[in-house]
Structure 1
Amino acid sequence: MSSSTVPKGRGARSNASGRYESNREEGFDDGWTGDDAAAAPLRTTLTPERARKIITRNDSPDVGFDRSINPYRGCEHGCIYCYARPAHAWMGLSPGVDFESKLFFKPESARLLEQELCARRYVCKPIHIGGNTDPYQPVERDERITRGVVEVLSRFNHPFSIITKSALIARDTDLMGPMAKKGLVSAAVSITTLDRKLARAMEPRAATPARRLEAISRLADADVPVTVGFAPVIPGLNDHEMERCWRRRKRPGRTGAMYVTLRLPLEIKDLFREWLAEARPDRAKRVMSLVRQTRGGRDYDPDWGQRMKGTGPVAELIATRFRAAVKRYHLDGPRRMLDVSHFRVPPEARSQLDLFDLAS
């Protein structure tokens, strides 16, 4: 797939076969398609996934949770840097355009979650929603899978954290607000740039920066603890906006801050290079040079202790600026731990479980 045949409104510039496929396929412009074909929009497909469980466990030492829920696979936001892209290869699909156009969803998420929370041996610990792909991507407006999951967590008084790039999260403040008063929820909204043009190119179907800032304000107004994420920091491309991004948020004292340095594992390094060469050709060499300086001279360092922040002088400078900004903009307040003591299985849910046990 050449730049002349890139579908409009998508982040990836190519759609090479996944790394597990025996046959390699990649589209290219043979000169016969013409400009009309290049302008044709690519339709997003949504396929139900029949999962047996909804809570996923992990033991990653640098991830702040050991269980998560991901209502969707693939993400229509199309962020070119998304670390979840390589996972689409497990589906026999491309981490490129397929990742943002061939989506999967779990229609039974709420029912499965309720079933797992009712298990007699279940031990309550905070659950993170959206650790892989965005739980509030555009299809959530109609599917409401994430909404259903949050409703179950609310009924069970189960603590959870959630992260997104979408303003749609503000829709669910009616549930999160009351939960926040019990210490049951924390949210994070990621903003990568305040430049609408860059955002449109880099994350074409995510909410605009202004709408994300508005969502942060609405969450804070509902007393939901919210972290403003600057993720990823891309040296030479968006890093100059880091302090400005945190300065723009409202309601000091109700927000925190975090950042992650650009990660380019597996297929993402080629997809990002391809995008960078077309979207910012004047900066491409400089950006990749700075990225490698944060990764020991490589495109990516997968070491558990370093993959989130990077190493070296460039990474250290970013960390120093972060610490200064957090202090300057009063983003360093104490973080309240999510409270597991309120967890209860509702009587109606317990009754349904008892009936299931009798039937078996």
Structure 2
Amino acid sequence: MEERPQIQPDRRRGRAAATNASGRYERHARVAVDDGWWQEPERAIRTDVRLEAPRSAITRNSSPDVPFDRSVNPYRGCEHGCIYCFARPSHAWLGLSPGLDFETQLVARPGIAGALARELSRKSYKPATIAIGTNTDPYQPIEGRFRAMREVLEVLRDFRHPVGIVTKGTLIERDIDILSDMARDGLVHVGVSVTTLDPRLARRMEPRVPAPARRLATIRALYEAGVPVRAMLGPVIPGLSDSEMERIMEASAEAGATAASWIMLRLPREVADLFQDWLVEHYPDRANRVLGHLRDMHDGKLYVSDWGRRMRGEGPYAEMLDMRFRVALKRLGLNKHLPDLRTDLFRVPPKAGDQLDLFA
């Protein structure tokens, strides 16, 4: 396995990535070199947030692998820092590294709710479920400061627009007042991602995500508020977390989840090197086993991006995991489909000064 220069552990404490290679679109690579001259000790890498004034809010996709055609992303980059995150390569579009930059150089979009309201108000707009959290987590720590997700939810509530949310962040509990109202009208589903029940493994591979037990408590809080919740086992890491599949499903069902889904670990582009470095650093005794399983499922490669294959992989090992999942799904009563979200309630709310105000 190729060795890549790593940043000192003291500088990246609380982070998952060990490197910060230049983005693939950059013309020049930056490499730190000790030239022998005395320098001040380098400080720990801190989170930096810059603001973006979005011109649009809704991103469209045509992938047959996902059940939605539009999404909203209140943030770029994610301080949760999950080492396996398939969204890391998107940071290269900003001229930043998918490594530590993805976890520490974040972009907040506090005006995105206004842009969303303008798009939903267009006469040509046709409602369909908007997905949030499919790229970076809308309830990552900086949401507590910027509240961009809260403002987006307020717009969707006012427009009576359906939304599906995916998160690992317990900050979603702050918005239960909005979510419970929307749930009563059949306008919201939430997927809570639980990758492991082992707090030590979780802290290593998703360093700034709430602990597994805390995420299960969030499932309980949403369930008690009447919000339909799906437990999302993703990604399942062969040879590392796959043995926990049934236990995670049992704990999620006990907490109140009514459905469940799973995806296999995906290592697109730069994520492959970042994950391998992490694996060798933290679990060197399992590295060959984990990577060997991945290659068996992807024609000898660590990842194949073909539609229909990338989410689960192929071969005996992938089939065994899917069979285990289906058996547990039926046994635990998680084989229910969350109710379809409604689009028939959608309407553009009146503004101050509109004709309706004459009759107020």
> Which TM-score bucket, shorter chain as reference?
over 0.9
> Could you say which residue in structure 2 is the equivalent of 1:357?
none
> Could you say which residue in structure 2 is the equivalent of 1:284?
287
> Could you say which residue in structure 2 is the equivalent of 1:170?
173
- Alignment partner of 1:197 out of 200, 216, 219: 200
Map Cα deviations across residues 258-291 of structure 1 (whole Å, 9 max, x no partner): 1110001100000000000001111111111111
AA matched with 2:20: N
Whole-angstrom distance in 2 between the partners of 1:278 and 1:253: 36
Q: For residues 240 and 23 of structure 1, do their structure 2 counterparts lie closer, same or farther at Cα, with a shift above 3 Å needed?
A: same
**Residues 129 and 164, structure 2, Cα contact 8 Å, conserved in 1:** yes
TM-score (norm 1): 0.93
Larger displacement relative to structure 2 (329-338 or 68-77): 329-338
AA matched with 1:147: R
AA matched with 2:236: V
AA matched with 1:180: A
Whole-angstrom distance in 2 between the partners of 1:188 and 1:26: 40
Whole-angstrom distance in 1 between the partners of 2:38 and 2:192: 40
The aligned runs of 1:123-162 (5 Å cut-off) are 123-162=126-165
Q: For residues 322 and 31 of structure 1, do their structure 2 counterparts lie closer, same or farther at Cα, with a shift above 3 Å needed?
A: farther
Map Cα deviations across residues 40-70 of structure 1 (whole Å, 9 max, x no partner): 4311111111221001111111111000000
1:257 is paired with a residue of what secondary structure?
A: strand
Whole-angstrom distance in 1 between the partners of 2:230 and 2:353: 35
Whole-angstrom distance in 2 between the partners of 1:21 and 1:328: 51
TM-score (norm 2): 0.93
The aligned runs of 1:43-122 (5 Å cut-off) are 43-122=46-125
Paired positions, count: 350
> Could you say which residue in structure 2 is the equivalent of 1:42?
45
Whole-angstrom distance in 2 between the partners of 1:170 and 1:46: 23
Whole-angstrom distance in 2 between the partners of 1:310 and 1:247: 24
- Alignment partner of 1:242 out of 245, 255, 260: 245
Q: For residues 297 and 101 of structure 1, do their structure 2 counterparts lie closer, same or farther at Cα, with a shift above 3 Å needed?
A: same
AA matched with 1:193: T
**Residues 220 and 255, structure 2, Cα contact 8 Å, conserved in 1:** no
The aligned runs of 1:187-336 (5 Å cut-off) are 187-250=190-253, 254-336=257-339
Unaligned 5+ runs, structure 1: 353-360
Whole-angstrom distance in 1 between the partners of 2:352 and 2:298: 49
2:8 is paired with a residue of what secondary structure?
A: helix
How big is the shift at 1:30? 7.6
AA matched with 1:221: E
Q: For residues 338 and 199 of structure 1, do their structure 2 counterparts lie closer, same or farther at Cα, with a shift above 3 Å needed?
A: same
**Residues 230 and 260, structure 1, Cα contact 8 Å, conserved in 2:** yes
1:334 is paired with a residue of what secondary structure?
A: coil
> Could you say which residue in structure 2 is the equivalent of 1:7?
12
Map Cα deviations across residues 291-312 of structure 1 (whole Å, 9 max, x no partner): 1112121110111010001101
AA matched with 1:13: A
The yes-or-no answer on 1:19 pairing with 2:13 is no
Whole-angstrom distance in 1 between the partners of 2:202 and 2:285: 17
Residue identity (%): 51
**Residues 292 and 299, structure 1, Cα contact 8 Å, conserved in 2:** yes
Whole-angstrom distance in 2 between the partners of 1:121 and 1:29: 59
AA matched with 1:17: S
**Residues 133 and 166, structure 2, Cα contact 8 Å, conserved in 1:** yes
**Residues 67 and 126, structure 1, Cα contact 8 Å, conserved in 2:** yes
Q: For residues 112 and 331 of structure 1, do their structure 2 counterparts lie closer, same or farther at Cα, with a shift above 3 Å needed?
A: same
Runs of 4+ in 1 over 4 A off after TM superposition: 28-34, 250-254
How big is the shift at 1:257? 0.4
Map Cα deviations across residues 207-245 of structure 1 (whole Å, 9 max, x no partner): 110110000011111111111011001000000111101
Whole-angstrom distance in 1 between the partners of 2:153 and 2:324: 35
How big is the shift at 1:31? 8.8
**Residues 14 and 26, structure 1, Cα contact 8 Å, conserved in 2:** no
AA matched with 1:297: G
1:348 is paired with a residue of what secondary structure?
A: coil
Whole-angstrom distance in 2 between the partners of 1:140 and 1:192: 22
Q: For residues 216 and 161 of structure 1, do their structure 2 counterparts lie closer, same or farther at Cα, with a shift above 3 Å needed?
A: same
**Residues 83 and 205, structure 2, Cα contact 8 Å, conserved in 1:** yes
**Residues 191 and 231, structure 2, Cα contact 8 Å, conserved in 1:** yes
AA matched with 1:143: F
**Residues 74 and 149, structure 2, Cα contact 8 Å, conserved in 1:** yes
Whole-angstrom distance in 2 between the partners of 1:130 and 1:18: 23
Q: For residues 31 and 69 of structure 1, do their structure 2 counterparts lie closer, same or farther at Cα, with a shift above 3 Å needed?
A: farther
**Residues 219 and 256, structure 2, Cα contact 8 Å, conserved in 1:** no
